[in-house]
Each structure stands twice: as structure tokens, then as C-alpha cells.
Structure 1
Amino acid sequence: GQQHLLPASERQRCCDAMVATIARPSGLQRSVAAALAAVQHGFEEEHLEPHTGYSLDLAFPSSRIAIEVDGPSHFLLPDGRGVRKPNGPTLLKRRLLAAAGWKVISVPFYEWNRFAT
């Protein structure tokens, strides 16, 4: 079985707190969702992943594909070569979702903005 470091009641409190802080979709996310809807149906917006407590921006739950629309707050400042790397919380979310069986696709804001203009 799975070993838990926190009792069930504390794990539930943590999950409840995560759900309570779920943000509304950004304009960027709405733009990506509209483009996706034009070519593919059957995805959910702000899908709550029950094993991790994370909200997935766009998800195909039956095939366990998540599309995360990553705005500027998901990245460190660009390095000397202009490369933007995901920050710690973003990497943690991706790893936990992958461990829960999800294929995570990232749509970085700087790539989307380049195509949208």
C-alpha cells in the first residue's frame, strides 16, 4: 500500500485548501481553450485531479492528457541566453501529475504570444 506521512484528516485539509485557492482562467488560458475547441472537442477546463488536488487548465480525463497554460508566474526570469526555465512549483505539479499517470503538455505564454501575433 501507499505510505502517507500525514493522517487522512490532515491530507483532506490540504486538498480542501488547494481547491479553495483555484484561480479563474486567465485571458491566455481562454485563448488557448478557444483554439483547442476549434479543432478538438471533449476537453474539460479546470479539471480537478482527485489524486493530487491540482486543477488542470485543460484536460482530456479519459486519456489522461493535461494541457497546462503557463503564464509568466510559472517561470524563472530569463537566463543570460534568454532561456526561461519553469519554477519549482510548476516542476512539482508536472512531476506529481506525471506520477499520477497524466501526460502533461505545457503551453508557455511566450510561445503562444509569438503565434498569436
Structure 2
Amino acid sequence: MTETQSQSQWERVGGAPAVKAVLDRFYEGVLGEPQLAGFFENVEVENIKPHLAEVLSVVLGGPGLSPDVDLATYLTDAHARLGVSESDYALTGKVLLDTLAEFDVPDDIVETITGALAFVQPFVVAA
């Protein structure tokens, strides 16, 4: 097995430092979108970045949420009061994918994240 094959996707993207850099840029992009910026009024973005980092860690095979944490409940509880529409979610996903492209994240890892976005959408978008 090559080093790339033996490494988790989390390790291949550079672990916590790389994910932090991506998330810093991602939140700049989200805050720059008028449709999305309102979700972050009166929110200290630095306090929520670690939560998305944890989710990405789980998705990419890194250290993350405790195995006994129910991801669906975790995400539903975090987003229930926000009223996120499908359009809001799609735009957020686009900003994330654009950010991943900006950082030259490998295609297989982008596919993993795209799959995760589809999987978690029902837990984020308002019913």
C-alpha cells in the first residue's frame, strides 16, 4: 500500500491545520454572501468553526466527535432554530466546494464531502 492509500483523507488534506485554513476561507465566503450573512449576525464565528471542523474530521476519518454522539441530533439541534432553506443550504455547499477547489483538495476527498453534504442536508434544512 502506498503512503497515500494508508493515510486517512483527514491526514491527506493536512489534518487540523489545513482544515482550519479551509474553514477560515469558507466562513469568509459565507459571510460575503448576502443570502447567508444574516445567519451569522450576533454570532462569534470563531466559536462555531470548531464544530464544523469536528464534523469534517468525522467525515474524513480523523479525530472527531465521540463515537456515542448522534450526528443527526447534533446537526438538527445546532440548526433547528435557524430556518435554513434548501436554497441557503445549496449556496453554503457551493461556497464550501468552491473553497475546496481553491485549496486544490483532491477529487476523491471532494466527492466524500459532497456525499456528506447530501447525507446531512435533512438535518440542517428546516422542515
Higher relative contact order (CA 8 A, sep 6+): 2
Higher strand share: 1
Higher helix share: 2
Q: Please say which structure displays the higher CA radius of gyration.
A: 1
Tell whether the structures are fold-level matches, with TM greater than 0.5: no
TM class by shorter-chain length?
A: 0.3 to 0.5
TM normalised by structure 1 equals 0.35
